[in-house]
């Protein structure tokens, strides 16, 4: 596999993920545009119904497993014996070798600020305080700038139709897994599911999201053992507080050669001369021409 090759990327040409819809523009002129398609998906763990999610359903198996992992319903060492996705009835069943019963757990779920009503459960927060992230992980500014360029120029459903969030698992300056969905929690769950099913560890990874750096995003990054979380969007106060509590590096408002770090600053290595960045060089060329 080439160093710059993604393992998974969005497929904006998949006809199940977008539809063409007629409308009018600001001048009253007719137009046809692409819109993102969302579908309900009901998740069962063995014989127990867990949740119904709204999703584009492009990687339902990874999303289902990742959801269970991030809710501590699947733990390291648990054996998945089968995954049955029934597209015609919008249902997916994850089967395990051991018995499961999360009736009490389901009674104490908490709604989060995520789009499409994402949920976290009470005991996830209880375990959050005990989380330990690797202290020796780093992110170089050159990696961050390269990642943003690769991600922002990759064909995606966002560029095709909008109304969607993207999440990317990265290693140094290489994007590995690029997932999209109508809710950012769904996109991160897809990545968590892939990591669980392929035994990928998060200790040396960077997580990039197009969405806000909320408490939910911080909690899920920590659940996956990822020490660095970055976004082109902004922060919430609780997200920053939780990141500082567990030593997660939190980078937001990352656009061009600009970013803000509000937690875990010690992991950032400044190895790029911003004054000689591509943007600055282009500005100098234009000023000389004029």
* CA nearest neighbour of 230 among 116, 125, 145, 129: 145
Report the helix count and the strand count for the chain, using DSSP H and E.
9, 16
Contact call for residues 184 and 115 (beta carbons, < 8 A): yes
Which residues of the chain are modeled with pLDDT < 70?
1-4, 103-126, 276-290
- Residue 103 domain boundaries: 1-290
The length of the chain in residues reads 290
| Amino acid 71: pLDDT | 86
Quick one: CA dihedral 21, 25, 31, 32, positive or negative? negative
Neighbour-count burial of 198, counting CB atoms closer than 10 A to its CB (0-12 exposed, 13-18 middle, 19+ buried)? exposed
| Amino acid 123: pLDDT | 61
| Amino acid 106: pLDDT | 66
| Amino acid 274: pLDDT | 75
pTM: 0.86
The CATH number of whichever domain residue 276 belongs to comes to: 3.40.140.10
Alpha-carbon distance of 256 to 165, in angstroms, equals: 19
Alpha-carbon distance of 226 to 217, in angstroms, equals: 11
- What dihedral angle (degrees, nearest 10) is formed by the CA atoms of 198, 16, 178, 265? -120
Q: Which long-range contacts (CB under 8 A, 24 or more apart) does 234-237 make?
A: 235/260, 235/262, 236/113, 236/212
| Amino acid 105: pLDDT | 65
**Counted domains in the chain:** 1
| Amino acid 278: pLDDT | 53
| Amino acid 287: pLDDT | 40
Contact call for residues 121 and 69 (beta carbons, < 8 A): no
Pairing of strands 80-86, 91-96: antiparallel
| Amino acid 113: pLDDT | 42
């Amino acid at each position: 596999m080439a160093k710059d090759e993604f393992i998974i990327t969005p497929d904006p040409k998949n006809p199940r993920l977008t539809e063409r819809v007629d409308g009018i523009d600001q001048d009253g002129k007719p137009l046809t545009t692409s819109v993102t398609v969302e579908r309900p998906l009901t998740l069962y763990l063995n014989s127990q119904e867990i949740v119904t999610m709204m999703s584009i359903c492009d990687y339902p198996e990874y999303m289902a497993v990742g959801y269970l992992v991030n809710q501590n319903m699947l733990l390291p060492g648990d054996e998945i014996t089968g995954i049955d996705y029934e597209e015609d009835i919008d249902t997916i069943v994850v089967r395990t070798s051991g018995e499961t019963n999360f009736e009490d757990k389901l009674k104490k779920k908490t709604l989060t600020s995520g789009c499409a009503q994402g949920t976290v459960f009470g005991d996830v927060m209880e375990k959050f305080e005990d989380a330990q992230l690797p202290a020796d992980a780093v992110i170089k500014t050159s990696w961050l700038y390269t990642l943003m360029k690769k991600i922002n120029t990759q064909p995606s459903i966002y560029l095709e139709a909008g109304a969607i969030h993207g999440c990317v698992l990265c290693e140094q300056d290489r994007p590995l897994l690029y997932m999209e969905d109508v809710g950012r929690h769904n996109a991160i769950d897809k990545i968590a599911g892939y990591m669980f099913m392929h035994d990928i560890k998060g200790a040396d990874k960077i997580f990039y999201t197009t969405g806000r750096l909320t408490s939910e995003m911080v909690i899920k990054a920590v659940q996956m053992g990822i020490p660095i979380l970055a976004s082109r969007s902004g922060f919430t106060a609780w997200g920053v507080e939780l990141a500082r509590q567990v030593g997660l590096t939190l980078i937001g408002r990352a656009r061009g050669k600009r970013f803000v770090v509000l937690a875990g600053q010690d992991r950032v290595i400044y190895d790029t001369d911003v004054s000689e960045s591509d943007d600055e060089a282009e500005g100098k060329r234009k000023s000389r021409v004029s």
